Amino acid sequence: MRTIAHRITAILILALLTAVVAVLGGCSDSSGPSASGYLEPTSPENVLLNVERAYGDRDLDEYLDCMSDDFKFHFTEADQQGWPHFPPWFYKSDEQQVHENMFGDEWSVESIDLTLMVTSVETIPGGDSGRPTGDVVVIRAAADLLVNLLGDLSYLATTPQEFRFRTVLDRDALNGRAHWEMFEWHDLDEYDNGSRVEEAGWGGIKYCFLESLSETSRRTSPAEVIDQLEAAYVALDTLNYLDCLSQDFTFYPSEADLQDPANEMPDEWYKLDERTMHENMFTGPDAVESIMLTLTNITMEHHEGDPHDPLDDTYVFIEGVDLLVNLYGYCSYLATAPSEFRLRVDQDEEGPYGETMWEIDSWFDLAGEEQGNVAGRIEDATWGGIKALFR
């Protein structure tokens, strides 16, 4: 929270919670239900009530109507660390796909029970909403979510949730009152389950109903670029791989490769060369059968440029590498030496909702400097050497 945040005093919170009732089912303003039975979004409490009801009704349209177009659901750090390709957040388009599956009839969901209980309310005047004006209301709530599947299987989530709301600027007021929307939702790492054991956090349950990420490019942080590169390699996806690289990208082979006269390897190569190599590797006539890749961060350095220009910052990631490239005919190559990635802001592209995007400016293969060794496995090729096979 920003230091300018103005917290409602404990007395006001108590008065508010008393007025609206601690259980969210009583947490609405005087605006009555619409023709559909859902409340008019004239308060954050009403919007949250509609989220709760939409889950029980399994009503996708009403659920999505609670969210802004630039909505983000933020996963817990535990979820991101526990799942191999977990994104830091879902966009609204991801929420739509997830809940089409969860609320539909084809994924064996029999019923959903959800109870939200407000525990705190906070108002942040005029900021932290992704725009220069407008108050933000932050509501924390205890959650009790039970997703019942056919065959006596269920998922239970009991972690607290934090919801952030703002008024809508591009819609008419509702009966003279502001129109509210949810623009952020944070799943929290705070467990207090009592005697009930949680099988999955709310974000984990959502992830179970995801088929694929609807936004293929998720380069809104340097770490996301590395994640996208890793995922693109495993999926043999040339376009998403090249999307990680800047237009003037340069790859630097290891000193060990350059000093080996048998390699005849150039001192460096560029994005166009990367395109040729990976089209051949992933989809060409002599394409590989499969690729396994795990990147593990070793160090991360942030190099700040002009303090008045956040767009000239750079990051240096050194990643541990476990790359296995399987060719047809029971042949494979293993590369385990670290790689150094230098990342900068993408000046030519923004994210789906105007976010700053990042890209890899240069990449150094460190074989020979810190020779790789993953769980006792010694590489028989370098990453650069594997790429060069497909020139």
How far is Cα 254 from Cα 121, in angstroms, rounded to an integer?
A: 55
DSSP letter, residue 218: -
Report the percent of the chain where pLDDT is more than 70: 79
10-208 and 222-388, same CATH topology: yes
> Which spans in the chain are helix H?
10-20, 44-57, 60-64, 77-82, 92-103, 202-208, 222-235, 238-243, 255-258, 271-282, 383-388
Task: Give mean pLDDT, residues 150-176.
Answer: 84
DSSP letter, residue 165: E
Q: How many CB atoms lie within 10 A of CB 81?
A: 10
How far is Cα 198 from Cα 71, in angstroms, rounded to an integer?
A: 26
Tokens of 88: 């830091």
Distances (CA, A) of 265 to 261, 268, 326, 332, 388: 8, 8, 22, 21, 7
Least confident span in 103-117, 187-201, 205-219, 369-383 = 187-201
Nearest residue to 90 (alpha-carbon basis) of 317, 343, 353: 353
Give the strand pairing for 339-350 and 314-327: antiparallel
pLDDT range class, residue 9, cuts 50, 70, 90: very low
**Does domain 10-208 fall into CATH 3.40.50.970?**
no
How far is Cα 361 from Cα 164, in angstroms, rounded to an integer?
A: 35
How far is Cα 370 from Cα 366, in angstroms, rounded to an integer?
A: 6
pLDDT range class, residue 376, cuts 50, 70, 90: low
The domain locations on the chain are: 10-208, 222-388
Tokens of 163: 């919801």
Class of residue 176 by CB neighbours under 10 A (exposed 0-12, middle 13-18, buried 19+): exposed
- Contact between 359 and 219 (Cβ < 8 Å): yes
pLDDT range class, residue 19, cuts 50, 70, 90: very low
**Does domain 222-388 fall into CATH 3.40.109.10?**
no
pLDDT digits (tens, 9 = 90+) for 170-217: 666 667 788 999 999 999 976 554 545 556 789 989 988 988 776 666
Q: How many CB atoms lie within 10 A of CB 69?
A: 12
* Residue whose entry in the numeric block shows the structure tokens 């560029």: 270
